[in-house]
A and B are shown apart, each in its own frame.
Chain A
Amino acid sequence: MGKTRVKAKVSFHEQIASDIYSMRLQVGAMASEAVPGQFVAVYCKDGSRLLPRPISICEINEAKGELRLVYRVVGDGTEEFSKLHAGALVTVMGPLGNGYDLLDKKAILIAGGIGIPPMLELAKQLAVPKTIVLGYRDELFLNEDFEKYGEVVIASEDGKHGTKGNVLDAIAESQVTGEAIYSCGPLPMLRAVKQYGMEHDMVTQISMEEKMACGIGACLSCVCESTEVDAHSHVHNKRVCKDGPVFYAQEVTL
Chain B
Amino acid sequence: MMNVNMEVSLAGVTLKNPVMTASGTFGSGVEYSEFVDLNKLGAVVTKGVANVAWQGNPTPRIAETYGGMMNAVGLQNPGIDVFCERDIPFLKQYDTRIIVNVCGHTEAEYVEVVERLAAENDVAMLEINVSCPNVKEGGIAFGQKPEALEAITKAVKRVARQPVIMKLSPNVTDITEMAKAAEAGGADCLSLINTLTGMKIDVDRRCFALANKTGGLSGPAIKPIAVRMVYQVAQAVSLPIIGMGGIMTAEDALEFILAGATAVSIGTANFVNPNTTINVLEGIEAYMLNYGVRDINELIGAVHE
Contacts and interface: CB of A to CB of B under 8 A. Distances in A.
Interface string A145-156: 000000000000
A237 B55 contact: yes
Given A218-B270, A234-B79, A235-B55, 15 more contacts: A5-B273, A47-B67, A51-B69, A51-B271, A93-B274, A211-B61, A213-B62, A213-B69, A213-B271, A219-B25, A220-B76, A221-B62, A222-B61, A236-B55, A237-B56
Contacts, number: 109
B287 to A, nearest CB: 21
B278 to A, nearest CB: 12
Nearest to B272: A50
Interface residues of B, number: 40
A49 B68 CA distance: 7
Given A2-B34, A218-B32, A219-B24, A210 B60 contact: yes
23 contacts: A2-B34, A3-B35, A47-B220, A50-B220, A51-B64, A211-B59, A213-B69, A213-B271, A216-B32, A217-B31, A218-B30, A218-B270, A219-B25, A219-B62, A220-B56, A221-B59, A222-B59, A222-B61, A222-B62, A223-B76, A233-B77, A235-B76, A237-B55
Given A50-B219, A242-B31, A221 B64 contact: no
A235 B54 contact: yes
Contact of A223 (B27, B59, B77, B219): B59
Residue from the set A2, A216, A234 with the largest chain B CB neighbour count within 10 Å: A234
A210 B60 CA distance: 7
Contact of A221 (B53, B55, B73): B73
Number of chain A interface residues as a range? 20 to 34
A232 B62 CA distance: 19
Contacts of A111: none
A212 B64 contact: no
A210 B210 CA distance: 12
A221 B54 contact: no
A217 B33 CA distance: 12
B39 interface: no
A237 B66 CA distance: 29
A211 B63 contact: yes
Interface string A1-42: 011010000000000000000000000000000000000000
A216 B268 CA distance: 14
A233 B53 contact: yes
Nearest to A75: B64
Contacts of A220: 27, 47, 56, 61, 73, 76
Contacts of A233: 53-54, 56, 76-78
Interface in A47-90: 47-52
B67 A3 contact: no
Contacts of B273: 5
Contact of B71 (A216, A219, A232): A219
A102 interface: no
B31 A223 contact: no
B197 interface: no
Contact of A5 (B26, B55, B71, B275): B275
B207 interface: no
B96 to A, nearest CB: 16
A181 interface: no
B161 to A, nearest CB: 25
A224 interface: yes
Nearest to A236: B55
B166 to A, nearest CB: 23
Contacts of A50: 64, 67-69, 219-220, 268, 271-272
A253 to B, nearest CB: 12
A49 B65 CA distance: 7
A220 B73 CA distance: 7
Smallest CB-CB A-B distances: 9 pairs: A218-B27, A221-B62, A218-B31, A234-B78, A235-B55, A211-B60, A234-B53, A216-B31, A217-B31
A236 B266 CA distance: 29
Residue from the set A2, A49, A211 with the largest chain B CB neighbour count within 10 Å: A211
Contact of B59 (A210, A215, A219): A210
A157 B30 CA distance: 45
Given A5-B35, A50-B219, A218-B25, A43 B272 contact: yes
Contacts of B271: 50-52, 213-215, 219
A2 B24 CA distance: 24
Contacts of B272: 43, 50-52
A93 to B, nearest CB: 8
B277 to A, nearest CB: 13
B274 A216 contact: yes
Contacts of B53: 233-235
A223 B56 CA distance: 10
